[in-house]
């Protein structure tokens, strides 16, 4: 007979116990500052679930309890294939818990550790479903507030899901970080306005996602320091550099470099001035799709796309993806000295007539620069291998 839980015991003592006469704790997955996540077995429905239990000592804090309960309410409002589903919520022996979908696989943090710096096309294909999940949240009036690689789960089948909406809150225009002055969000990915004003909106999630994409492309975080305060200071005062400046164009199997429109996408999303970022994740998602399509067609430079990505007006509509692309042909040459030459785009002008005033010559149309197609495009494979839901 399974032992009923007494949640005032030590964490290791929960293994084998049954929470609320229903969820039998199987093993520990991860522990965060607010809660501990376990694999559990739902005795009523006979399924494996993820059980998140508030850490000892925090249940007495009204602030933390309210924030913990908000996770279930926020995530329960989201029905999206890229959002971790919430099944149940309750309290056992005065300790709040949340029951969530169990994702067998690994985190984006683990994938970055193994693969970064990533091929631009692969990085964008991985980050696109994250933006789709955040876009659904923003449409519902929710912000995540803690976007980071540890909160992006990748199943063994390659499905990407965003977890831990524990810091998300329903918003109208803005929300405060907390009533106690606590800065919410992991410092490596926190938006500058959360540091300086304690306020967040959809653009704060866009910023964090831009920082994550930068790290995927370069293998390093753009804001670093010896202490969290130094990292936070860098977010507020330093604009990130273009990711193409941080990587070699000949890295890893001769893959090509980072195109200018991908540079523009990342630096705009992660701008320290929130008004220079896309208005929400829906707008960013359109840019990601356009960039993915351009990469698929082997486009190295597209000034029109770069300019479109830099549009910061709140009314900017998501970019519609172009028709299906063929394989990407990466170039091994440097961005500063490309082997691909632009096509001739100048138009012949008609001879000037003496009877009528001459017509002005139309300006040449700038066309995207691209390389010849290669018979072997880089694999857009899904992530493989088994793992567990934990930070690395």
Q: Could you list the active site residues? A: 146
DSSP of 35-103, one letter per residue?
EEEEEEEETTTTEEEEEEEEPTTTTT-HHHHHHHHHHHHHHHT---TTB--EEEEEEETTEEEEEEE--
Q: Which residue has the tokens 């964490």?
A: 11
Q: Which residues pair with 28 in a beta bridge?
A: 38
Please state, in angstroms and rounded to a whole number, the distance separating the CA atoms of residues 269 and 286: 12
* Strand bridging mode 3-4 / 17-19: parallel
Structure tokens at 360: 């002005």
Which of 170, 176, 202, 182 is CA-nearest to residue 75?
Answer: 170
Question: CA nearest 63: which of 99, 27, 33, 30?
Answer: 33
CA dihedral 108→111→117→120, nearest 10 degrees, is: -60
CA–CA dist 129, 23 (Å, integer): 30
Contact 388, 29 (CB under 8 A): yes
Give the whole-angstrom CA distance, residue 164 versus residue 287: 25
Bridge partners (DSSP) of residue 370 are: 299
Residue recorded with tokens 């990292």: 231
CA 163, distance to chain mean position in Å, is 11
- In sequence order, what DSSP letters do the residues of 162-223 get, joined into one string? E---TT-EE-SS-EES-SS-PPPS-GGG--HHHHHTSEE-HHHHHHHHHHHHHHHHHSS-SS
């Amino acid at each position: 007979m399974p032992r009923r839980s007494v949640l005032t015991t030590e964490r290791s003592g929960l293994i084998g116990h049954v929470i609320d006469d229903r969820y039998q704790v199987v093993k520990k997955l991860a522990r965060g500052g607010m809660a501990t996540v376990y694999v559990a077995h739902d005795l009523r429905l006979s399924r494996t679930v993820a059980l998140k239990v508030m850490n000892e000592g925090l249940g007495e804090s009204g602030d933390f309890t309210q924030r913990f309960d908000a996770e279930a309410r926020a995530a329960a409002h989201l029905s999206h294939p890229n959002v971790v589903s919430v099944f149940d919520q309750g309290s056992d022996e005065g300790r709040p818990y949340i029951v969530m979908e169990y994702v067998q696989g690994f985190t984006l943090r683990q994938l970055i550790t193994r693969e970064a710096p990533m091929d631009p096309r692969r990085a964008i294909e991985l980050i696109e479903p994250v933006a789709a999940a955040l876009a659904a949240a923003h449409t519902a009036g929710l912000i995540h507030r803690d976007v980071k690689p540890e909160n992006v789960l990748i199943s063994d089948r390659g499905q990407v899901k965003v977890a831990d909406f524990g810091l998300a809150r329903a918003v109208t225009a803005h929300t405060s970080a907390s009533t106690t002055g606590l800065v919410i969000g992991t410092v490596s990915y926190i938006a500058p306005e959360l540091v300086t004003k304690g306020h967040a909106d959809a653009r704060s999630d866009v910023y964090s996602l831009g920082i994550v994409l930068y790290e995927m492309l370069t293998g390093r975080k753009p804001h670093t320091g010896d202490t969290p305060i130094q990292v936070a200071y860098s977010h507020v005062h330093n604009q990130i550099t273009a990711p193409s400046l941080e990587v070699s164009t000949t890295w890893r199997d001769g893959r090509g470099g980072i195109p200018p429109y991908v540079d523009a996408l990342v630096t705009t999303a992660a701008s320290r001035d929130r008004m220079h970022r896309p208005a929400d994740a829906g707008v960013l998602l359109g840019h990601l799709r356009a960039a993915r399509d351009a990469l698929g067609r082997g486009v190295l430079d597209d000034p029109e796309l770069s300019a479109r990505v830099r549009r910061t007006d709140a009314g900017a509509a998501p970019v519609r993806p172009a028709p299906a692309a063929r394989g990407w042909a990466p170039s091994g040459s440097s961005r500063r000295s490309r082997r691909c030459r632009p096509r001739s785009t100048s138009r012949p002008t008609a001879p000037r007539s003496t009877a009528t005033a001459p017509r002005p010559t139309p300006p040449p149309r700038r066309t995207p620069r691209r390389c010849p197609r290669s018979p072997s495009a880089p694999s857009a494979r899904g992530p493989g291998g088994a793992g567990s839901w934990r930070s690395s």
